[in-house]
Amino acid sequence: MRQGCFDLSRLKICPLKSSSKGNATLITNENTKILVDCGISGKTLCESLEKIGIRAAELDAILITHEHTDHTKGVGIASRKYNLPIYLNALTWNFAKSQIGRIEEKNLNIFETGDEFYINDIKVKSFHTPHDAAESVGFVFEDSSGRAAVATDMGFVTDEVLSVICGCDAVLIEANYDLNMLEIGSYPYELKQRIKGNRGHLCNDDSGALAKILAESGVKEIILGHLSEENNFPLLALKTVESFFTKENAPRLAVVGKDGEVIKGTV
């Protein structure tokens, strides 16, 4: 296992932390470094970036998918300490601002979901994800070398999601829980229902079905992330998703553990 960046084109997806307890994913090319979510402390962000030779002050922007603390915990600190612009939609800002705290006006960028905008030479497009947050989104990134997407935290896969992430070079999707582990686990009934519901998360089998559709659309690299620490194991998620493929039709598959460690698939 090692930290890993996924780079079929010059555009790379580097998950720094990925679990129900904290998420931060770096999207980079030669010129631009974008952080998607910062659900980790400022200290952990710096340590995670250091492992791949990047300083937090080098980041160009932080994009925020939704207001849950596993995505926003360190956003305010990182923006204030390193003078980083943040990008989020208005509803998410309304719900997240008390937790994020003061952001300099010049660093606060409110987008409308569906808008396209540029961070240096990377074009970013947001799209809706069905999740129990004010207006959660995923992002697609495009530069002259390729397209990559981050699409986690969704109760089911909508046509809108498919329309934007199909055909990308690389996609980070969630494999949040193993259904059996969730059902026999210690979570209260209401929480189990929330996780399984249409505004919850994808289980390993949902993730496998999505991975199959993505691979058929031409996606070459699929990264599984945002695993529950209570209701999943990296190898279980990977093996479940691999079971949807044969050697002939499998994309490159990998699963990311909570600290960004990567296990590559063997199909």
Question: Which residues neighbour 262 within 8 Å (Cβ) at sequence distance 6 or greater?
Answer: 1, 2, 3, 4, 15, 254, 255, 256
Using rule CB under 5 A, residue 258 touches Zn ion: no
CB-nearer residue toward Zn ion: 153 or 178: 153
Using rule CB under 5 A, residue 174 touches Zn ion: no
We find the least distance from the C-beta atom of residue 39 to Zn ion, in angstroms, to be: 7
Q: In this chain, which stretch among 10-18, 97-105, 145-153, 246-254 interacts with Zn ion, using CB under 5 A? A: 145-153
The owner of tokens 């596993």 is 70
Q: How many CB atoms lie within 10 A of CB 91?
A: 16
Which tokens is 84 given?
A: 């980083």
We find the least distance from the C-beta atom of residue 130 to Zn ion, in angstroms, to be: 11
Helices (H) and strands (E) in the chain, counts: 9, 15
We find the least distance from the C-beta atom of residue 53 to Zn ion, in angstroms, to be: 27
Question: Which residues neighbour 50 within 8 Å (Cβ) at sequence distance 6 or greater?
Answer: none
The strand ranges marked E within the chain are: 2-3, 12-19, 22-28, 33-36, 61-63, 86-89, 108-111, 116-119, 122-128, 137-143, 146-151, 170-174, 221-225, 252-256, 261-264
Find the binder of Zn ion among 37, 70, 169, 178 (CB under 5 A).
70
CB-nearer residue toward Zn ion: 80 or 199: 199
Using rule CB under 5 A, residue 153 touches Zn ion: yes
Which tokens is 211 given?
A: 């991975």
CB-nearer residue toward Zn ion: 28 or 65: 65
Chain residue at closest Cβ approach to Zn ion? 68
* SS3 of residue 221 by DSSP: strand
Q: In this chain, which stretch among 26-34, 66-74, 103-111, 243-251 interacts with Zn ion, using CB under 5 A? A: 66-74
Find the binder of Zn ion among 12, 17, 33, 68 (CB under 5 A).
68
Q: How many CB atoms lie within 10 A of CB 100?
A: 25
Q: In this chain, which stretch among 97-105, 147-155, 162-170, 238-246 interacts with Zn ion, using CB under 5 A? A: 147-155
We find the least distance from the C-beta atom of residue 155 to Zn ion, in angstroms, to be: 10
Contact 176, 241 (CB under 8 A): no
We find the least distance from the C-beta atom of residue 8 to Zn ion, in angstroms, to be: 25
CB-nearer residue toward Zn ion: 79 or 152: 152
Count of residues touching Zn ion (by CB under 5 A): 3
Q: In this chain, which stretch among 30-38, 53-61, 149-157, 160-168 interacts with Zn ion, using CB under 5 A? A: 149-157
Q: In this chain, which stretch among 61-69, 72-80, 106-114, 216-224 interacts with Zn ion, using CB under 5 A? A: 61-69
The strand order across the sheet containing 86-89 reads: 12-19, 22-28, 33-36, 61-63, 86-89, 108-111
CB-nearer residue toward Zn ion: 150 or 250: 150
Which DSSP category does 166 fall into?
T
Binding site for Zn ion (CB under 5 A): 68, 70, 153
